[in-house]
Amino acid sequence: MFERRKRNRFVERNEILVRTAVDKYQGPGVAAHTYDLSTGGARIVTSKNYPVGSVIRIRLLLAATDQIINLDGLVRWTRPKDNGDTYEIGVEFESLTSQAVLLLIRHLYGRNEGVPSTIG
């Protein structure tokens, strides 16, 4: 099978809060968590199904460091999980700030081998 992803995915659970433009990106949001994460996107497990093409705002709590990153993401795909009460959604991050990219790189790649000195 051909792999279309451009970035490595790391399987890990991080708590997130999802909001949409419908709620003006405010209010309580929907609690969810990541299944996997990369610098370009994430697979998210959530109790709410979001339509493909919708933009969501994600408040990501990095489990290892307790750092919070706010990200916007485009829903690329969605599918129900086995029990029917939860969904998996594939999200591509959009308009990443340099600070968000750096935090993700440090979190994902800075574990054992150190943070890369250059990004190419």
For the domain that residue 39 is a member of, what is the CATH number?
2.40.10.220
Does 66 reside within a domain? yes
Does 115 reside within a domain? no
Domain count, the chain: 1
* Containing structural domain, residue 87: 10-109
For residue range 12-60, list pLDDT tens digits in order: 999 999 998 776 667 788 999 999 999 999 999 999 999 999 999 999 9
Does 91 reside within a domain? yes
Is the pTM of the predicted complex or chain greater than 0.95? no
Does 114 reside within a domain? no
Does 117 reside within a domain? no
Does 98 reside within a domain? yes
Range of 16-25, 56-65, 110-119 with top mean pLDDT: 56-65
Q: For residue 22, give Cα distances in angstroms to 12, 27, 56, 89.
A: 29, 11, 10, 18
